[in-house]
Structure 1
Amino acid sequence: MAEDLLSPQRIDDVAERYPQVPRLLARLPADDLLRAGRLLSRVSPDEVLRAHPTTPTLTIAVTGHGTLSALVPALTAQLARHGILLRPHLTDYDSYVFELSDPDSELHAANPDMALCVLDPAVVFDEVPTPWHVDDVEKVLAEKTALVEGIAARFADTARGVLVLNTVPLLRRHTGQLVDLKSRARLGVLWREFNARLLALVETNPSVVVIDLDPLVAEGVEVTDARLDSYAKAHLSQDLLAAYAREVGHLARNLAGRTKKCLAVDLDNTLWGGVLGDDGPEGIEIGGGYRGEAFRSFQRVVAQLGSQGVLLAAVSKNDPEPVRAVLREHPDMVLREGDFVRVAASWWPKSESIAALAEDLNIGADSFVFADDSPYERGQVRHALPDVAVVDLDDEPALHPHRLLLDGWFDVRELTGEDLKRPAKYRDELVRKDFMHGFDSIADYLAELGVRVRLARVEPADVPRVSQLTLRTNQFNLTTKRLQPAEVQSLLADPSAQVLAIHSGDRFGDNGLVGVVFTRREHDVVHVENFLLSCRVFARGIEQACLSSVLARAKAAGASAVVGRYRPTAKNGKVRDFYPRNGFVPAGAEDDTSVFRHDLADIAAVPGHVRLTENFGGTP
């Protein structure tokens, strides 16, 4: 089927077949992936959306100093790999200063979700004199630093999207023009200080992301093609632009709410060498020899991901007790049983183990990454659970870390305190599931669970977590409006808007900030612009309690009605009737969004098993 996709004769079929595209692209080599990107870039996004209206779509503007047309097909392919449709906007050659700074520019008119300002070495060296000295470069670097910082600040003030910058590689052809090593060293210092200033922009400007090209170059990617650089002003090589596009794809996945949550990892020949059932605990390879050290190194990488909020699950075809014994007792293991939210050791098909875990954790199969050395097991999971991202490992453990990390499956813009607590909270959630099984009815379970809810206005310290919830929450997300931190901050400063954080807890502990309600008052009507809730806390009465509170508050403040909206997506079908179930009546539609209205005459009470506290702050 991949060959069909790559055939220009089949281009007319691509829009109809777009949901199949991610699976077809998943295992293509780099050259074929770029070729597929060229084909896909010829497909109209509007045609795809007519056939598949819930397809996530991002508008990305591309601007910079050099010729960047080769970046568009690379971006198209990388976004398509993650099921995202690209609307590209490519600016004219060397127009980045005007396009990013002027709110009346075509770039601003495109209203991009991301604006890629691609920087290259010629940004600096096109402006040094001939001959040049290090002092000349220092002057230009200072000017460019001030220019880029000014552009970033201006863009944050005038645009809603994310500005993506990059560090700039220093070429041998430039350092080689200096014949004394002391001058070369000074140029290196100045250049690294310039890149450090670029990287530091993320600390002061929440609208900025900086992609560091140094790690890509360090892996052997050529920075430039001398002929294309000279003849076409394409200052970065096609290979580097392709690697850059892959990094942008990770960010795009996050912006589209498609960041993965759980790493399901095999054990035999993946976390350790050998087969536990055949070799026994004393015969598996962990530490000791060179292969054993490679497996330990991979375990360290997995542990590092887990320490940053990635849920870890062991999925293995083994008897459970020997597996648990190794995880608890083997002296060379880095990962222990407590590092996993679930150790699924059984003889079930691995797809069934993953599906059962998804149900227990109340997350979708599309939240999983599955890493296994067995082609059979990978193929079985791909076939049964096509939404799971599958990492192809093999019999070379030294390459396991590279293959797992290549696609940045768990990348987010910023870690929050809630991220670091996530594994413990999901482990608590599994305890809640076990607790529930001891009751004859859901009502009895909820009565004993002791649900606590605090609905309070968002504080500045909560902004990163609120933004993250809008980016990551898909199932209970009534309009799927994705907001960057700067956009949340802007709403906090808007006197007509109110952003309310939902905190919850119960007898098993604190769940933290698990949801958000966005409201805006226009005259005597309160509009619920979005309502979202983490999948961890569904079906406990939390959503009904918070909606009841918002309605009662609106009535007390003199509002005549509350209006809510629901925009369907591929993931939020379970809340399509949320407003009708809670006393709202249909009130028309706005494009693809259904509108509902509550006249505040009959407001349902907060569920009796929920203990609710409120702090609205101001008038809704």
Structure 2
Amino acid sequence: MATVASTTVGERTGPLDRLRALHREGRLVPAYPEVPGLLAELTAGGDPAGPPAPDLVRAGQLLARLDADEVLAAHPTADAVTVAVTGHSTLSGLTAPLTAELSRHGLLPRLRSGDFGSWFRDLQDTGSELYAARADVVLCVLDAQVVFDELPHPWLVEDVERVAAAKLALIGSLAERYVTEGSGTLVLNTLPLLRGQARRLVDARSRARLGVAWRELNAGLLRLAAAHDRVHVVDLDPLVASSGPVQDPRLAAYAKVLLGDELLAGYAREVGHLARGLRGRTKKVLVVDLDNTLWDGILGDDGPEGIAAATTYRGEAFGRFQKAVGQIGAQGVLLAVCSKNDREPVLNVLRGHPDMVLRETDFVRVNANWEPKDGNLLDIAQRLNLGVDSLVFADDSPFECGLVASSLPGVAVVRLDEEPALHVERLLADGWFDVPELTAEDRARAAQYRTDAARQDLQESAGSMEEYLAGLGVEVELSPVREHEIARVSQVTLRTNQFNLTTERLQQADVRARLDSPGHLVLAIRSRDRFGDNGLVGAVFIDTARDGGGWHIDNMLLSCRVFARGIEQSCLAAVVRAARAAGAGAVYARFRPTAKNHKVGGLYPGVGFVESARGDAGSVDFRHDLAEEALPSVPDHVRLTAHVSRAPAPGAQG
């Protein structure tokens, strides 16, 4: 239950005031779980195309005073993220917005800042504090002066071309060094070219050449993200276009603040999106209202002929919003409807109204009724076998948005207003669905969820769970991960929360490193049934060479789409039997409980593992002695193909 700070009569009770009151009364640390909700209130209704709200930055200034260790002591399950900051210029203006952006996404910031202008030394010296920090994210914030500081006086375009090429090569080599020696994700950025720099050339032809050279430099920086799994590049050009000037010339001259506060705040927002994705907090479902959200008008009052998503100026704005929603849905985000309307008229519009870009088949769930929307969102999450924190809810009603925000704080609420021209910007402002890389499974996800309706029909018609599973025809393949599956396996570790026994998050480079390690097995779980191919739905990570002998299951993960079908028991049976055949003395495993994975706490005991120890934060160690009589078996309704070794499965295609 939320804690409300005490206030005097007449005192304002906005979210920033409540945050200040908690701090003033010494209750901010014990009330820290309330912080994301308060910060979400601060961002609601702000300019979607502009910089973060000033009050959010003020909140960040307050939160930056907190001791992360003190917060962790009070809340051991808080998700702490260590961020090291280095750069070329004065970056003090980054601390407050970065703290606020991380905090509002449920991440507890641990910020480590380097010395002024120390970016080259920090990245070049593997013994530097930047490497020693073992940061989850390293921000190397650069600006155009890294090039212009090295030009002769006077300079020509040829000098810029030469220095820019050398600087790009240097940054590339430093990025490669960090990827090899560092622990986290390195974040670089493109370099905005200032008008005052370009205007120092008096002829238009030279300015054009400078523009080409500068764009080639920035394109080269962006390509570094494609070359390295653990490098991310923030493109500052779109931020500059929406945030105002790159810098204040006076602060740039006197204080070496070469990137202004508004731009740094926008940059911090992008870093917040990235960190959220790295922590597996990417949203999976976009739930939209209909009246005055997907179309102009109210279906129940105006009838089908009175609503529009084309043909009128205002209607065209709704049509653009539908196209943006459809674009997101085509990339693996599940789409659903939550609307206070009668169901049949809604379905008729989605099936046949000439203005509609989106059709019924684009949605995995259409909840159109007169029940409270928070209850409908719970129903959608349950039907999709997802937590409500996987949902983003977009609605134009302040009442409905407030209801959902208060009763379901895990849902990300996108508050649309009466101006449909801003719907797209509001929806996209927070990058709720951002992932490091899109996979084939992402693009097929909506179709896979739609086939689940047929599975549910079979389950409801079956006389028992056993009859349902027997009729489902479950097939499981367990075999080494193939090269083209590395991105998908990394994504499974980042996005799976419910069936994730240790919640260890792995980037693609981490998965590849384990694949290349002689002492590790990285096994992919693939499944299909009578209704279709589910694709790669999970993974098992095994250390076969750890001190003390035996096989150690470092983690096991499974998509929520295929829960309770015997897949997990089948795969563990295959691992245990393979370990015994390989001569291992035992198989060890660990379960680390979180707020989301409690449903799988009994998995290991259910297949013959016994508890051997308990650790910090409720973690439990298990051991299976591989006695013949205790070996688990594959459920009768599952057809399993297992190849538990480092070699590719026979006939496997890479």
TM-score after normalising by structure 1: 0.98
Deviations 1:203-251 (A, max 9, x none): 2111111111111111243211212211221210011000000001111
> What is the distance in 2 between the residues matched to 1:570 and 1:231?
49
> What is the distance in 2 between the residues matched to 1:272 and 1:419?
27
> Which of 19, 23, 26 is residue 12 of structure 1 equivalent to?
26
Deviations 1:129-165 (A, max 9, x none): 2222212211210111011110111111111211111
Map 1:221-370 → 2, pairs under 5 A: 221-370=244-393
Cα distance, 1:312 vs. partner? 0.3
What RMSD, in angstroms, separates the aligned Cα atoms of the two structures?
Answer: 1.4
Residue 110 of structure 1 is matched in structure 2 by 133
Map 1:424-463 → 2, pairs under 5 A: 424-463=447-486
Residue 9 of structure 2 is matched in structure 1 by none
> What is the distance in 1 between the residues matched to 2:164 and 2:646?
48
Residue 142 of structure 1 is matched in structure 2 by 165
Cα distance, 1:619 vs. partner? 8.4
Q: Runs of 5+ in structure 1 lacking a partner?
A: none
Amino acid at match of 1:473: T
Residue 438 of structure 2 is matched in structure 1 by 415
Cα distance, 1:444 vs. partner? 1.6
Per mean C-alpha deviation after superposition, the further-off stretch among 3-12 and 319-328 is 3-12
Amino acid at match of 1:466: V
Q: Find out whether 1:609 has 2:623 as its counterpart.
A: no
Q: Find out whether 1:507 has 2:521 as its counterpart.
A: no
CA contact (8 A) 1:470 1:532 kept: yes
> Which of 42, 53, 60 is residue 28 of structure 1 equivalent to?
42
Q: Find out whether 1:618 has 2:646 as its counterpart.
A: yes
> What is the distance in 2 between the residues matched to 1:229 and 1:348?
56
CA contact (8 A) 2:243 2:266 kept: no
> Which of 219, 222, 233 is residue 199 of structure 1 equivalent to?
222
> What is the distance in 1 between the residues matched to 2:453 and 2:485?
26
Q: Please state whether the residue corresponding to 2:458 is helix, strand or coil.
A: helix
Q: Please state whether the residue corresponding to 1:70 is helix, strand or coil.
A: helix
Cα distance, 1:12 vs. partner? 3.0
> Which of 623, 640, 643 is residue 597 of structure 1 equivalent to?
623
Deviations 1:307-342 (A, max 9, x none): 000000011111111111111111121000000001
Cα distance, 1:441 vs. partner? 1.9
**Identity over aligned residues, as a percent?**
58
Q: Would you say how many aligned residue pairs link Structure 1 and Structure 2?
A: 620
Residue 554 of structure 1 is matched in structure 2 by 579
> What is the distance in 1 between the residues matched to 2:222 and 2:33?
36
CA contact (8 A) 1:11 1:39 kept: no
Per mean C-alpha deviation after superposition, the further-off stretch among 219-228 and 387-396 is 219-228
Per mean C-alpha deviation after superposition, the further-off stretch among 238-247 and 227-236 is 227-236
CA contact (8 A) 2:295 2:318 kept: yes
> What is the distance in 2 between the residues matched to 1:252 and 1:482?
12
Residue 652 of structure 2 is matched in structure 1 by none
Amino acid at match of 1:615: H
> What is the distance in 1 between the residues matched to 2:419 and 2:315?
11
Q: Find out whether 1:541 has 2:569 as its counterpart.
A: no
Q: Find out whether 1:529 has 2:554 as its counterpart.
A: yes
Q: Please state whether the residue corresponding to 2:466 is helix, strand or coil.
A: helix
> What is the distance in 1 between the residues matched to 2:581 and 2:647?
10
Cα distance, 1:9 vs. partner? 4.4
Deviations 1:162-185 (A, max 9, x none): 111111110011011111111111
> What is the distance in 2 between the residues matched to 1:221 and 1:499?
48
Cα distance, 1:613 vs. partner? 0.2
> What is the distance in 1 between the residues matched to 2:285 and 2:554?
30
Deviations 1:259-317 (A, max 9, x none): 00000000000000000011111110221111011010000000000000000001111
Amino acid at match of 2:552: H
> What is the distance in 2 between the residues matched to 1:349 and 1:285?
25
Cα distance, 1:398 vs. partner? 0.3
Cα distance, 1:401 vs. partner? 0.2
Per mean C-alpha deviation after superposition, the further-off stretch among 504-513 and 398-407 is 504-513
> What is the distance in 2 between the residues matched to 1:508 and 1:221?
53
Q: Runs of 5+ in structure 2 lacking a partner?
A: 5-14, 44-52, 649-654
> What is the distance in 2 between the residues matched to 1:47 and 1:598?
38
> What is the distance in 2 between the residues matched to 1:328 and 1:534?
31
Q: 1:468 to 1:9 in 2, by over 3 A?
A: closer
> What is the distance in 2 between the residues matched to 1:139 and 1:535?
53
Amino acid at match of 1:525: G
Q: Please state whether the residue corresponding to 2:533 is helix, strand or coil.
A: strand
> What is the distance in 1 between the residues matched to 2:614 and 2:254?
53
Deviations 1:493-522 (A, max 9, x none): 000001000001111111110000000012
> What is the distance in 1 between the residues matched to 2:437 and 2:646?
29
> What is the distance in 1 between the residues matched to 2:321 and 2:96?
33
Per mean C-alpha deviation after superposition, the further-off stretch among 471-480 and 216-225 is 216-225
> What is the distance in 2 between the residues matched to 1:600 and 1:220?
62
Residue 149 of structure 2 is matched in structure 1 by 126
Amino acid at match of 1:252: A
Cα distance, 1:594 vs. partner? 2.1
Cα distance, 1:577 vs. partner? 2.3
Q: Please state whether the residue corresponding to 1:348 is helix, strand or coil.
A: coil
Residue 517 of structure 1 is matched in structure 2 by 540
Residue 153 of structure 1 is matched in structure 2 by 176
> What is the distance in 2 between the residues matched to 1:422 and 1:539?
19
Q: Please state whether the residue corresponding to 1:6 is helix, strand or coil.
A: helix
